[in-house]
Amino acid sequence: MNNPDKQSQQRNLVALLALLLLTVLSANIRYTESLSLSLLALLFVVFKAWFVTHYFMELSHAPSLWCNLLFSYIVIIPSVLGIIYYVAR
């Protein structure tokens, strides 16, 4: 049987690499001319926040109420911001 702590460390490392990749991609979006494309950065926020909550905060094995609460936050806030930015363009 695999050591759960070892598995957890490996998952954290994968999450770190994904976070770094998405951050670098987000930073490069700054140089695009299109607002629609730059709103991709807000989509990346959802994925990045999911990696942090799911792996670093260990919500993957938390009660579903807390998972849903945090997941709603990380989806709703970037979505609302995206809608405001898009409507005001």
Residues that bind other proteins (CB under 8 A): 4-5, 8-9, 12-13, 15-16, 19-20, 23-24, 26-27, 29-30, 33-35, 38-39, 41-42, 44-45, 48-49, 52-53, 55-58, 61-64, 66, 69, 73-74, 77-78, 80-81, 84-85, 87-89
The minimum distance between CB 57 and other proteins, in angstroms, equals 5
| Residue 3 beta carbon to other proteins: minimum distance, rounded to whole angstroms | 9
Smallest CA-to-CA distance from 48 within 77, 80, 84 is with 77
**Helix H or strand E encompassing 50:** helix 40-51
What is the rounded distance in angstroms from the CA atom of residue 44 to the CA atom of residue 20?
A: 11
Give 3-state DSSP helix, strand, coil % of the chain, rounded to 5: 85, 0, 15
Cβ at position 41, least distance to other proteins in Å = 4
Report CA 33 to chain centroid distance, whole Å.
Answer: 24
